[in-house]
Amino acid sequence: MPIHIITDSTCDLPAEFVTRYGLSVIPAVLNLDGKSYRDGIDISRSDFYQRLPQLKDLPRTSVPAAGELEALYHRHSGSEIISIHLASQLSGMINTARLGAEASGARVTLIDSGQVSMGLGWQVLAAAEAAAAGKTLAEVLAAIESVRGRIKLFALLNTLEFLQRGGRASALTATLGKLLQIKPVLELAAGQVIPLEKPRTWSRGVEKLLELAKGLGRLERVAVLHADALAEAQNLAQRLTPHTTHPPIVVEVTTVIGTHVGPGALGIAAVRASM
């Protein structure tokens, strides 16, 4: 039986991979100024990041209706379906997927990636590559697990304001960050946001990101993530090129993620080389 891979738009996997492997990507929902937008479909990332700093109310993010996932699973019910989504600690997407899967009657294996953006995207790509190579369901699941265990995702924020407004940082922390001009360096692991460093300047924060990535040893894949900071992301990708087997890719994070990290953020989603 063929294997079909389904994920959600927070994976940030570039369109070329989605097309090459025939993946299905269900859009998350962004509620902005009283209107709902399908992530990646109804609003461009550039338009979103231009509007974000001027918004009085922070956009709200939500998951699609379970019925949308049910219909998608039913459409691919002739295949073994692997449905892999962003961390359950950060979103109700996996629970919605579970409801859709139960209603569809399709053969669906649900996977909580524990990650977001290309931390999720690299797992999706591992599944797609293994399935395209004719691997069995068990082998594809093993490939996902292998990559998940080797992923590290680090982020450098230009401001704590958007994490605070979204309820992911305390008001006191955000105020101190503004007063002290802190540019926090964070790690996302197992769905948890972990503070690592509090550099006082942006340049020191970028150097810390680079140091963290290099400290992982030889890398198999690297994605440099950014929220309306293309030039800096490209520069960081160039500096990481000697340390990775595959050329780094540069990805502008989707609107749903940008809502929480704010404009100007940088990140690295790396997969350590297998031993």
Three-state SS at 94: helix
Supply the pTM of this predicted model. 0.91
Given its phi and psi angles, is residue 244 left (phi above 0), alpha (psi -120 to 50 degrees) or beta? beta
**Count of CB atoms within 10 A of residue 252's CB?**
20
In order of 29, 44, 45, 255, the CA distances from 37 in angstroms are 6, 10, 12, 10
Q: Where are the beta strands (DSSP E) in the chain?
A: 3-8, 24-26, 29-32, 35-38, 60-62, 80-85, 108-112, 151-156, 185-189, 192-197, 219-226, 249-252, 266-272
Domain extents for the chain? 3-27+63-148, 151-272
Q: What kind of fold does domain 3-27+63-148 have according to CATH?
A: Rossmann fold (3.40.50)
Q: Give the architecture-level CATH label for domain 151-272.
A: 2-Layer Sandwich (3.30)
User: Residue 234 pairs with which residues in a beta bridge?
Assistant: none
Q: Which of 185, 113, 116 is nearest to 154 (CA)?
A: 185
CA 268 to chain centre: 11
Q: What is the pLDDT of residue 109?
A: 98
pLDDT tens sequence for the chain (275 residues):
899 999 999 999 999 999 999 999 999 988 888 888 888 888 888 888 888 777 777 788 888 999 999 999 999 999 999 999 999 988 899 999 999 999 999 999 999 999 999 999 999 999 999 999 999 999 999 999 999 999 999 999 886 655 555 454 444 344 444 544 678 898 998 888 888 888 888 899 999 999 999 999 999 999 999 999 999 999 999 999 999 999 999 999 988 888 878 888 999 999 999 87
CB-facing half-sphere around the CA of 135: CA atoms within 13 A: 17
Q: What is the pLDDT of residue 174?
A: 44
Q: What is the pLDDT of residue 199?
A: 87
Q: What is the pLDDT of residue 1?
A: 81
CA–CA separation, 32 vs 36, rounded Å? 6
Three-state SS at 190: coil
CA–CA separation, 66 vs 99, rounded Å? 6
Q: What is the pLDDT of residue 132?
A: 97
Are the folds of 3-27+63-148 and 151-272 the same? no
| C-beta separation of 144 from 11 below 8 A | no
Q: What is the pLDDT of residue 27?
A: 92
CA–CA separation, 84 vs 69, rounded Å? 12
Q: What is the pLDDT of residue 24?
A: 97
Q: What is the pLDDT of residue 162?
A: 56
Q: Which residues of 36-46 are buried (b: 16+ CB within 10 A; e: fewer)?
A: ebbbbeebebe
